[in-house]
Structures are given as structure tokens and as C-alpha cells.
């Protein structure tokens, strides 16, 4: 197999590795999720790193910064909630992404779900998962979790994150 001459030579952008990584991944559309856990009070954060890892056994993963306000709870929690957000939930995503916000105050609607995990209302889908492992990865940890309960019957289209903002699908 040979390279096509019309593809040209790959261009190199003179950026350092962290800036290059951020620049490239701004071009990658990702689904938006909120991860929750119960500590002395409920905690949660917006994540775009949610990934299905394995079907057998069922495992998901997400990344969390070690300086995130939620990390002390997530680092010791046995269970987490994973909520897939819909296109009409930009404000909810922004609330859980905002530093210092009271994320569980009104207008956020939630209740204690299985294993006491905070479950957000009116999301297209959610899971409660048992944490199976935490893997250090640079300035983050990758959390592996096994789904135990959930609901996938909520309606609507997904909320996406792309080019530094929340977006929706277009037909």
C-alpha cells in the first residue's frame, strides 16, 4: 500500500504537547455526562471522558482530575452515578462544570438512588455503578466502574461537547 500523493505532507503545528492535545481534542465531539457520588453531601461533575470499556464483564470508565473538588469523594466512594445528558440540559451541564456552584440546589432535580447514589431526574439515561478500580494517569485518575442498575428510557437527543462548548446534533 502506498500513500496517495494528493494527501500532501502532514503539517506539524508548533505547539507543545499539552496545547497540541487540547487543540486536537477540541475537534473531537464527545457526549456529555454528569458523574455523581455520595459523601458527607452529594458531589458531582460534568465529564466528556465517559467510555464503554467492556461488554463482558460490563465496565465503563471516566477520567477525573486529582485537583477536582469531587476527587476526595470519588477517590474513596464505592458507587457512582453516571448520567447521560440530553440536548435540552446545557444549563445542567454548565452547573456541574462550574467551580464553586451548589450543584444539587434548585433547579437541579435529583433523588437518592440505588446504594444511596444521587440520581439526576429527567436525563435520557443513567447508571449506578460499583467502582472496580482507579488508575493513576498523569494529573488524572481513570475510574473503572461496573454498572449495577440504571434506566435508558428517557427521551431526546444527546448533548455534545465540541470546540469548547455544548452542542446538539443536526440532521
- The most confident of 9-13, 78-82, 100-104, by mean pLDDT: 78-82
Tell me, yes or no, whether 17 lies in a domain.
Answer: no
- pLDDT (tens digit per residue) in 50-97: 999 999 999 999 999 999 999 999 999 999 999 999 999 999 999 999
pLDDT, residue 170, reads: 80
Nearest to 130 by CA among 67, 82, 78: 78
Tell me, yes or no, whether 125 lies in a domain.
Answer: yes
Mean of pLDDT over the chain: 91
pLDDT, residue 78, reads: 98
Q: What is the pTM of this model?
A: 0.87
Tell me, yes or no, whether 24 lies in a domain.
Answer: no
Tell me, yes or no, whether 144 lies in a domain.
Answer: yes
pLDDT, residue 119, reads: 98
What is the rounded distance in angstroms from the CA atom of residue 72 to the CA atom of residue 144? 16
pLDDT, residue 24, reads: 83
Is the pLDDT confidence value at 6 over 60?
no
Tell me, yes or no, whether 25 lies in a domain.
Answer: no
Average pLDDT rounded to a whole number, residues 8-32: 76
> Where does residue 132 fall: left (phi above 0), alpha (psi -120 to 50 degrees), or beta otherwise?
alpha
pLDDT, residue 65, reads: 96
pLDDT, residue 45, reads: 98
Task: Give me the count of residues in the chain.
Answer: 171
Domain limits for position 108: 31-156
pLDDT, residue 21, reads: 80
* pLDDT bucket at 134, cuts 50 / 70 / 90: very high
Helix (DSSP H) and strand (DSSP E) numbers for the chain:
3, 12
Percent of the chain with pLDDT over 90: 75
Q: The domain that contains 98 carries what CATH number?
A: 2.30.110.10
Number of compact structural domains in the chain:
1
Amino acid at each position: 500500500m502506498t500513500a496517495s500523493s494528493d494527501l500532501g505532507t502532514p503539517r506539524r503545528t508548533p505547539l507543545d504537547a499539552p496545547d497540541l492535545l487540547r487543540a486536537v481534542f477540541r475537534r473531537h465531539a464527545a457526549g456529555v455526562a454528569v458523574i455523581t457520588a455520595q459523601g458527607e453531601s452529594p458531589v458531582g461533575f460534568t465529564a466528556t471522558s465517559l467510555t464503554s470499556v467492556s461488554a463482558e464483564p460490563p465496565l465503563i470508565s471516566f477520567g477525573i482530575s486529582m485537583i477536582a473538588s469531587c476527587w476526595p469523594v470519588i477517590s474513596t466512594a464505592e458507587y457512582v452515578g453516571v448520567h447521560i445528558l440530553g440536548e435540552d440540559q446545557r444549563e445542567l451541564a454548565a452547573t456541574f462544570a462550574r467551580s464553586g456552584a451548589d450543584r444539587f440546589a434548585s433547579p437541579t432535580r435529583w433523588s437518592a438512588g440505588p446504594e444511596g447514589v444521587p440520581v439526576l431526574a429527567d436525563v435520557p439515561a443513567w447508571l449506578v455503578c460499583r467502582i472496580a478500580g482507579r488508575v493513576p494517569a498523569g494529573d488524572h485518575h481513570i475510574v473503572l466502574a461496573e454498572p449495577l442498575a440504571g434506566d435508558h428510557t428517557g427521551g431526546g437527543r444527546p448533548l455534545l461537547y465540541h470546540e469548547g462548548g455544548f452542542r446538539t446534533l443536526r440532521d
